[in-house]
Amino acid sequence: MIEFNRYVLDNGLRLLVHEDRSTHLAVVNLLYDVGARDEDPAKTGFAHLFEHLMFEGSENISHYDRELEMAGGVNNAFTTNDVTNYYLSLPATNLETGLWLESDRMLGLAFSQGKLDIQKNVVIEEYKQRYLNQPYGDAWLLLRPLAYKVHPYRWPTIGKAIAHIENATLDDVRSFFYTWYRPDNAILTVSGNVRSAEVLELTEKWFGDLPPGNAPERKLPQEPEQKEARKETVSRPVPYDALYLSFHSAPRNDAGFYAADLLSDILAGGKSSRLYQALVQDRKLFTEIGAYTTGELDKGMFVVSGKLLKGVEMNLAEAAIEEELSRLRNAPPGTREVEKVKNKIESSLRFGYMDVLNKAMDLSYFELLGDAALINREAERYLSVTAGDMHREAQALFAPARSSTLFYRSESSPP
Amino acid sequence: MKIPVRTKAPPFRPVERVELAPVQTHRLPGGIPLFTIGGGSEEVSRLDILFGQTLAGRENNMGVFAASALLKDGTHRRNYAEISEELDYYGAEVGASFGKDNVVVNVYILNKYMDEVFGILADLLHNPTFPAEQLETYVRNGKQRLAVSEKKVSYLTKRALNETLFGPDHRYGFSARETDFGTLSVEKVQETYRSYFMPATCRIIASGRIDGKLAERLAGHLITPAWLSGKEPGRETVTPVFPGAHSHREIEVDGAVQSSIRIGRRLFSKTHPDYLGMTVLNTVLGGYFGSRLMSNLREDKGYTYGVGSGLVSLQASGYFQVSAEVGVEVCSAAVEEIYREIGRLRDEAIPAAELELVKNYMLGSFLMGADGPFAQADLLKGVMLYGMDYTYYDRFIGTVRTMQPARLQELAQKYLQEDDLCRVVAGGKNG
C-alpha cells in the first residue's frame, strides 16, 4: 500500500505527497499533460524539442542544472506521445531547491533564438544517433505511420522528419509554453523523506502565485477501425531481416490493456513464452522475438517484433507468428500459464516500488489517468483478469485484417 | 502565504556524511561468506552470488561468457523451458553476467517464494548440463547479434579502444569475434563452468527484506558436500603485460551520419592512491550533465547529443576514457575540443566555484547511489572485489570534500598528457 496525500492549489496545480522514511532522498516529479499527440502535424517533434529548452534557463535562474547540482541533485526528463515528465532527486534536506527550480521554469523561460538554435542541433544529433545511425533505428519511424492514418500517434516523439525540427521558431516555443506549461495542466508529486504539511507549505510558497492557463480541450481525431491488413517492405543496410507486426490495443486505463499486457507476456515474456519456445528454439526461425503493448492514453499498439535467422523466408516467419496468435484466438491460455504471467507482473510491480522515484512517477501518472489511488489497484487490476478475458481480448486484438506489418529487409538478402 | 524570492537560491546543505545500513556477516558451511543488508518497503529481496578467478586466453573468456548465458538452460532435472517457467511462476528473475573480473549471478525473489526459488537456484548451480541444442542456439544468435553490433559505430570504437589498451586476448581487452564462437563446445563450457563457478571463490550478498533465518535456509538448499568438493581455484601466476605505445585508429563505416569518438588510456584500480582524486578530475571533465565536455560540445556548440568521460576500475588495472557520438561533419572539430578541454585541466587551476559545485554534485550522487538495500549491495560489491570495505567510501567522501584545485592540476599533468592518450574514431568520412 502506497500512502499519499493529495492537494489542489487555487491555481489548479495538483500535488501528491508520499512519505517514505526509509530513504534520505526527496524526489520531485512534475508531469505536464502534453505530449507529441498534441503537436501540429506540420510541426512534429516539438514537444520533445521543447523539453530540451526547459533546461536552458528560466525567468530568474540562468542555469537550472548548475543550481541543482550545487544542492547535490540530479535530474532528467522524457517526452512520450502522451506526456512530458520532469523529475529530480536530491538530498531530502534540500527539497526546497527542487521546488524553487521547477516553479521558476513554470513561471517563465528565458526564451532566446541562440539557445533554440543550439538545442535544434542537439536534437538533430539525437535523431541521428538513435534513429538513423543505428541498425533498425528507423523501424518505429516507419511503423507508426503504417499503423495510424489519422490519430497523431502516427508520428514518433522525435518527429516525422529532421526538417520539422529545423523549422521550429521562437514563436512556436512561446505559444507552446503558455498553452501547456501552466499549473492547472500539471501534476506535481513529491516523495521521499518529507512531511506532507511542509511540502504543501513549500509548494504554496513557490507555485501558489503562478497564474493558471487555459489549455485547449483535447479533440484528437480518433483512429477509425482498420478494415484491411497493411504491409510495407523496406530494404536497409542491416545484416539480417526483421519483422514488425502491430495491432491496435486498448487505451492504458481500460480493462483491455491489462489483458493485452498479460497476453504479451504469454507470447514473449522470457524463455518459457510461446513465441520463444516455438519460433526461436524449436523451429529456429528467429534469433530474437518480443511482444509488448505501448500502453498509451488513446488506443495504443500491440507489437510483435523479431529478427529472422539468416536464410529464413519472410513469409514463413510471418505465418509462424500468425499461427501462435491464432492459438490464442482459438483457446484460452492454461491456468498455470495465466498464474505465471500474473506472478511475473506482481514481482515487477513490487521491485519497482522499492524505488522512491518510480513511486513518484507513477503517482503523477495515475493521477493523470483519473485517480492517483489507482497506484494501489494496479496489482489487483492485473490479477482480476481471467483466462476467459484474455481469450476474448486475443480474439478482438489479433484480427489479421487489423494488422500492420513492416518487413524490414536486409539489402544483402535475396529479394 | 510566504512570498518567494526567486532570484536567490534557497538555503541548502551539502551532504557531509552518508549512513549505510550495517552489513551482517555470516559464514555458510564450507566457509562461504554471506553478507546481508536489510531494508526496503516491499517484501522482496535480492541475492548477488559472486564467483571469480582469473583465466587467461580467448577460449576461456568465451567459455565463461557461454557458461553464464547458458546457466539457466538445462540441468539434470529440468530443461530450459521448465526452468524459465518455474522461475517466472514464482515471480523470480535469475541472471548471470560476466564482468571483466567476475561472474555475478543475480537472483530477484518475492519473499513468499524464497524456498522454492532457493531450490531451483541450487539445481542451477549444482547440476547445469549446458545442452548441445541450447549451445547451438546461443552460438547462432550470438553471431547474429555480433553482426548487428558491428553496424554500430559506438560498439566499434568501444571494442577497438579496449583492444588497444589491454590487448585483444586479455580478458580486459577481449571482445568475442565470429571465430571465437567456433571454439565453444559442450565439453568446453562444462569444463569452464567447473573451474570457474567454484564454491572456493563464491561470495554471496543478500539484500532487501531478509530475516535472520536466511543464512540457514540458503545453506540448507545450496550447500551440499558434493558441491563443496569442487576443485580448488587456479591462480594467475603471470603479471599481465599490456600493450605499451599509444596509438590512433580510424575505422571507416560506409554511410554513417555520425562518428563515434573514444579517447582514453590505461590507468589503475581503485586501490591506487590517486584513484579518488582522479574521480573528481573526471567528473569536472565529463562526469555530469554540467561538465566541461557537455557544456562545450553539446550546450555551446550543438555537436552531439551526449559526450562524457569515465574512470573504470578493474582488479588488476583500470582505464579512463572520453566518448561521444557526433555529426560526421564536425568530427575533427569535436576531437579538437576534447583535447582542448583536457589541456585546460593541465594548464589552468579549476575555479573554486566550479570545484565546489562538482563536490556537492558528487556527494549528492553518492547519497543517491546508496539509497536502499539493493544500492548498498552494489556498493559492497564495488569494494569487496578489491579486498576493501565500506571505509573506502569514508575516504571517498573525505577526499572529495577536501580536494584542492592545485592537486587536480597536478593529477591532470601526471595522467592526462596528450601523448599518453589513445584515440579511436569510427564513422563516415571526415568532412
Distance in angstroms (rounded) separating the CA atoms of residues B92 and B86: 9
How far apart CA B103 and CA B204 sit, in angstroms, is: 12
What tens digit of pLDDT does each residue of A49-104 get?
A: 999 999 999 999 999 999 999 999 999 999 999 999 999 999 999 999 999 999 99
Cα–Cα distances in Å, from A201 out to A205, B2, B404? Answer: 6, 9, 39
Work out whether strand A300-308 and strand A286-293 pair parallel, antiparallel, or are unpaired.
Answer: antiparallel
Q: Is A300:A252 a contact under the CB 8 Å cutoff?
A: yes
Cα A198 to Cα B406: distance, rounded to the nearest angstrom:
42
How does strand B248-252 pair with strand B203-208?
Answer: unpaired
Q: What does A146-163 look like in DSSP terms, one character per residue?
A: HH-SSSGGGS-TT-S-HH
Using CB atoms, pick whichever of A93, A134, A336 lies closest to residue B13: A93
Residue contact B19–A205, C-beta within 8 A:
no
Asked if B357 lies within 8 A of A69 by C-beta distance, the reply is: yes
Q: What is the pLDDT of residue B226?
A: 85
Q: Which residues of B touch A134 (CB under 8 A)?
A: 151-152
Measured between CA atoms, how close is A331 to chain B, in angstroms? 20
Q: Give the span between the Cα atoms of B412 and A149, in whole angstroms.
A: 57
Instruction: Report pLDDT for A302.
Output: 98
Q: Which residues of A touch B6 (CB under 8 A)?
A: 59-61, 100, 103-104, 107
B-chain CB neighbours of A378 within 8 Å are none
* Strand duo A14-19 + A186-192: pairing: parallel
- The pLDDT value recorded for residue B225 is 87
Cβ within 8 Å, pair A204-B1: yes
CB A84 within 8 A of CB A51: yes
Whole-angstrom distance, CA of residue B253 vs CA of residue B161: 16
Q: Is A172 exposed, middle or buried (0-12, 13-18, 19+ CB in 10 A)?
A: middle
Contact flag A132-B257 (C-beta cutoff 8 Å)? yes
B148 Cα to chain A: minimum distance (Å)? 6
Instruction: Write down the pLDDT at residue A290.
Output: 98
Q: How far apart are the CA of A221 and the nearest CA of chain B, in angstroms?
A: 33
B-chain CB neighbours of A271 within 8 Å are 72-73, 80-81, 83-84
**Distance between CA B242 and CA B173 in Å, rounded?**
9
Q: Do A69 and B289 touch (CB under 8 A)?
A: yes
ipTM of model: 0.90
Residues A25-64 have pLDDT tens digits of: 999 999 999 999 999 999 999 999 999 999 999 999 999 9
Choose among B141, B151, B256: nearest Cβ to A238. Answer: B151
Map residue A252 onto helix, strand or coil: coil
Q: How far is B306 from chain A (nearest CA, A)?
A: 8
What is each CA distance from B385 to B191, B202, B393, in whole angstroms? 24, 12, 14
Size of interface A-B (CB pairs under 8 A): 226
CB-CB under 8 Å, A72 with B365: yes
Residues 6+ apart with CB under 8 A from A296: A80, A81, A82, A153, A251, A252
Q: Do B14 and A240 touch (CB under 8 A)?
A: no
Identify the pLDDT of residue A70: 95
What residues of chain B lie within 8 A of the CB of A117, using their CB? Answer: 302
Side chain identity at residue A214, one-letter code: N
Query: Å from B303 to nearest chain A CA?
Result: 7
Percent of chain A scoring above 70 in pLDDT? 100
Rounded to a whole number of angstroms, the distance from the CA of A231 to the nearest CA of chain B is: 24
Contact residues on chain B for A71, CB-CB shorter than 8 A: 9, 12, 360, 364
* Cα three-residue angle A28-A34-A35, rounded to 5 degrees: 105
The 10s digit of each residue's pLDDT in A381-404 is 999 999 999 999 999 999 999 999
Indicate the residue of A23, A120, A135 with minimum beta-carbon distance to B372: A23
H or E stretch including B313?
Answer: strand B304-314
Q: Name the closest residue on chain A to residue B372, using Cα atoms.
A: A23
The stretches of A20-135 forming alpha helices (DSSP H) are 46-53, 64-70, 95-107, 113-127
Best mutation target among B305, B374, B376 (most A Cβ atoms within 10 Å) is B305
Chain A residues whose beta carbon lies within 8 Å of the beta carbon of residue B78: none
B321 min Cα distance to partner chain A (Å)? 20
Q: What is the pLDDT along chain B (431 residues), one digit of tens a residue?
A: 567 899 999 999 999 888 899 999 999 988 999 999 998 888 999 999 999 877 778 899 999 999 999 999 999 999 999 999 999 999 999 999 998 899 999 999 999 999 999 999 999 999 999 999 999 999 999 999 999 999 999 999 999 999 999 999 888 999 999 999 999 999 999 999 988 898 888 999 999 998 767 878 888 899 888 888 876 666 555 566 787 767 888 999 988 889 999 999 999 999 999 999 999 999 999 999 999 999 999 999 999 999 999 999 999 899 999 999 999 999 999 999 999 999 999 999 999 999 999 999 999 999 999 999 999 999 999 999 899 999 999 999 999 999 999 999 999 999 999 999 999 999 986 54
- Per the structure block, which three cell numbers stand in for B341? 578541454
pLDDT one-digit tens code per residue, A183-241: 999 999 999 999 999 999 999 999 999 999 989 999 999 999 999 999 999 999 999 99
The beta-carbon neighbor of A133 closest among B4, B148, B256 is B256
DSSP state of B75: B
CA distance to partner chain A, nearest, from residue B2 (Å)? 5
- Supply B327's cell numbers: 555529426
- When CB atoms are compared, the residue of A69, A130, A135 closest to B361 is A69
For the segment A371-381, the average pLDDT, to the nearest whole number, is: 97
pLDDT over 90 for what percent of chain A?
96
> Which residue in the set A72, A201, A204 is minimally distant from B361, CB to CB?
A72
Q: What is the pLDDT of residues A132-175, one digit of tens each?
A: 989 999 999 999 999 999 999 999 999 999 999 999 999 999 99
Cell of A322: 500468425
Specify the pLDDT at position B431.
43
Question: What is the pLDDT averaged over residues A309-337?
Answer: 97
Q: How far apart are CA B219 and CA B337, in angstroms?
A: 56
Across the interface, do B357 and A70 touch by the CB < 8 Å criterion?
yes
Which pLDDT band holds residue A414 (cuts at 50, 70, 90)? low
